[in-house]
């Protein structure tokens, strides 16, 4: 069983209707954005580094020695690495999206990590430092975070759990496996309304991620932003390649 846990501070993001575009359209919009706004690639990288600097670090959020996976104690910062999502920068576990996560796969053939057993207490456990010292003076909003669970190759999940201070939270995961008969391959994707792992929707532009429903939604969101704003935000949306 694969687990993906992301923790981040969330904020709202509203978009207009989705407009599906192919990869060539999206690359064209991006080039127009850079040309019209005169935004050099170096500045985009500086903004990315600034966002990383402002985000909470792993050693700030996790209580030392509190991370346990599969009944084994770990350094929390060895398990969690920074990663961008459409909601901002998160600290993720068992991901295959970020460069740091992909490096883990290169050096560990068993990554993403898997459980040797099941049941309560067998998964991932950690303690967060959620206290008033993280709050801005005068704010009336309670300090809280969101726990997001998704597949390792998924850009951003849509299921979130709110975590508040002075609480204990237990999340149960029940996996569902879907099997497809081999003769389904003979059907056209439009007729069976799905794609196999070795197939790809021709309008799906995210060349560095596998095709899936959630990644397709991320592509549609990016397409809508590019179409209406003539620009995109690399901190929150996946790269469309070049």
pLDDT of residue 207: 63
Q: Two tokens at 187?
A: 């059907």
Quote the crossing angle between the two packed helices 23-37 and 213-229, to the nearest 10°.
Answer: 40
SS3 content of the chain, % helix, strand, coil (to 5): 30, 15, 55
Under DSSP, is residue 27 helix (H, G, I), strand (E, B) or coil?
A: helix
Question: For the chain, what are the domain ranges?
Answer: 57-175, 185-241
pLDDT of residue 22: 46
Contact in structure between 45 and 196 (CB atoms under 8 Å): no
pLDDT of residue 79: 92
pLDDT of residue 16: 28
Under DSSP, is residue 44 helix (H, G, I), strand (E, B) or coil?
A: helix
Burial of 80: CB neighbours in 10 Å, binned 0-12, 13-18, 19+: buried
Element at 45 (helix H, strand E): helix 41-54
Report the alpha-carbon distance of residue 119 to residue 106 in Å, rounded.
Answer: 30
Report the alpha-carbon distance of residue 23 to residue 143 in Å, rounded.
Answer: 40
Per-residue tens of pLDDT for the chain, all 242 residues = 344 444 433 322 222 233 334 445 545 555 555 555 555 666 666 777 777 777 788 888 899 999 999 889 999 999 998 888 877 788 899 988 888 888 888 888 888 888 888 777 778 999 988 766 767 777 777 777 888 888 888 887 777 888 888 888 888 888 778 888 888 888 988 888 888 877 877 777 766 778 888 888 888 887 787 777 777 766 677 766 54
Q: Two tokens at 104?
A: 């883990």
Q: Two tokens at 172?
A: 């149960």
């Amino acid at each position: 069983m694969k687990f993906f846990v992301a923790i981040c501070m969330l904020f709202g993001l509203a978009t207009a209707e989705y407009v599906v575009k192919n990869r060539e359209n999206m690359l064209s919009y991006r080039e127009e954005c850079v040309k019209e706004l005169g935004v050099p690639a170096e500045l985009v990288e500086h903004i990315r580094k600034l966002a990383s600097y402002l985000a909470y670090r792993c050693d700030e959020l996790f209580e030392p020695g509190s991370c346990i996976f599969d009944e084994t104690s770990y350094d929390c910062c060895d398990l969690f690495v920074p990663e961008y999502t459409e909601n901002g920068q998160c600290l993720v576990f068992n991901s295959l999206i970020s460069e740091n996560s992909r490096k883990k796969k290169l050096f560990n053939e068993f990554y993403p990590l898997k459980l040797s057993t099941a049941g309560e207490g067998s998964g991932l456990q950690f303690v967060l430092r959620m206290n008033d010292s993280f709050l801005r003076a005068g704010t009336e909003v309670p300090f809280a975070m969101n726990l997001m669970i998704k597949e390792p190759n998924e850009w951003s999940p849509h299921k979130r759990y709110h975590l508040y201070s002075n609480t204990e939270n237990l999340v149960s995961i029940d996996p569902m496996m879907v099997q497809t008969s081999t003769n389904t391959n003979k059907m056209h994707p439009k007729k069976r309304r799905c794609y196999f792992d070795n197939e790809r929707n021709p309008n799906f532009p995210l060349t560095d991620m596998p095709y899936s429903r959630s990644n397709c939604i991320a592509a549609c969101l990016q397409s809508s932003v590019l179409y209406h704003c003539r620009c995109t935000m690399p901190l929150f949306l996946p790269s469309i390649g070049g």
